[in-house]
Amino acid sequence: MIDLNFKYKTLLNYVNDQMPFYPEISLILGSGLGEFADKIKIVKSIKTEDIPNYPKSTVQGHKGFLHFAELFNKNILVFQGRIHLYEGYNIDQAIIPVFIAKELKTKYILLTNAAGGVNLNFNPGDLMLTTGFLAHNIKKELTDVLSLPTAEQRKNILNLPSKEFNEIIKKAALEENVFLQQGNYWFNSGPTYETPAEIKMQSKFGADAVGMSTVHEAFFAGVNGINVSAISLITNYAAGLSPQKLSHQEVIETAELAKEKFERLVKRIIKLV
Ligand code: HPA
SS (H, E, C) 98-152: HHHHHHCCCCEEEEEEEEEECCCCCCCCCEEEEEEEECHHHHHHHHHHCCCCCHH
- pLDDT tens per residue, the chain (273 residues)? 889 999 999 999 999 999 999 999 999 998 778 788 888 999 999 999 999 999 987 766 567 899 999 999 999 999 998 899 999 999 999 999 999 999 999 999 999 999 999 999 999 999 999 999 998 888 888 888 887 767 776 666 667 999 999 999 999 999 999 999 999 999 999 889 999 999 999 999 999 999 999 999 999 999 899 999 999 999 999 999 998 877 888 878 888 889 899 999 999 999 999
Q: Distance (Å, rounded) from C-alpha 56 to C-alpha 49?
A: 7
Q: Where are the domains of the chain?
A: 4-272
Pairing of strands 108-117, 209-211: antiparallel
Burial class (CB in 10 A: 0-12, 13-18, 19+), 129: buried
Confidence (pLDDT) at 142:
85
| Three-class SS state of 13 | helix
- Which of 251, 253, 254, 256 to probe ligand 1 with, by most ligand atoms within 8 A of CB? 251
Q: Distance (Å, rounded) from C-alpha 197 to C-alpha 135?
A: 19
Work out which ligand 1 atom sits closest to the CA atom of 239.
7
Catalytic, out of 26, 75, 229, 236: 236
Cβ(180) to ligand 1 under 6 A?
no
Are 82 and 100 within 8 A, CB to CB? no
Confidence (pLDDT) at 145:
87
Cβ(26) to ligand 1 under 6 A?
no
Q: Kindly indicate whether the domain formed by 4-272 is annotated with CATH number 3.40.50.1580.
A: yes
Pairing of strands 227-237, 127-134: antiparallel
> Model's pTM, two decimal places?
0.94
Confidence (pLDDT) at 268:
97
Catalytic, out of 37, 94, 114, 173: 114
Cβ(34) to ligand 1 under 6 A?
no
Question: How many C-beta atoms surround the C-beta of residue 216 within 10 A?
Answer: 23
Q: How far is the CA of 194 from the centre of ligand 1 (A)?
A: 8
**216 annotated active-site:** no
- Which of 236, 245, 249, 252 to probe ligand 1 with, by most ligand atoms within 8 A of CB? 236
Number of residues in the chain: 273
Question: How many C-beta atoms surround the C-beta of residue 34 within 10 A?
Answer: 22
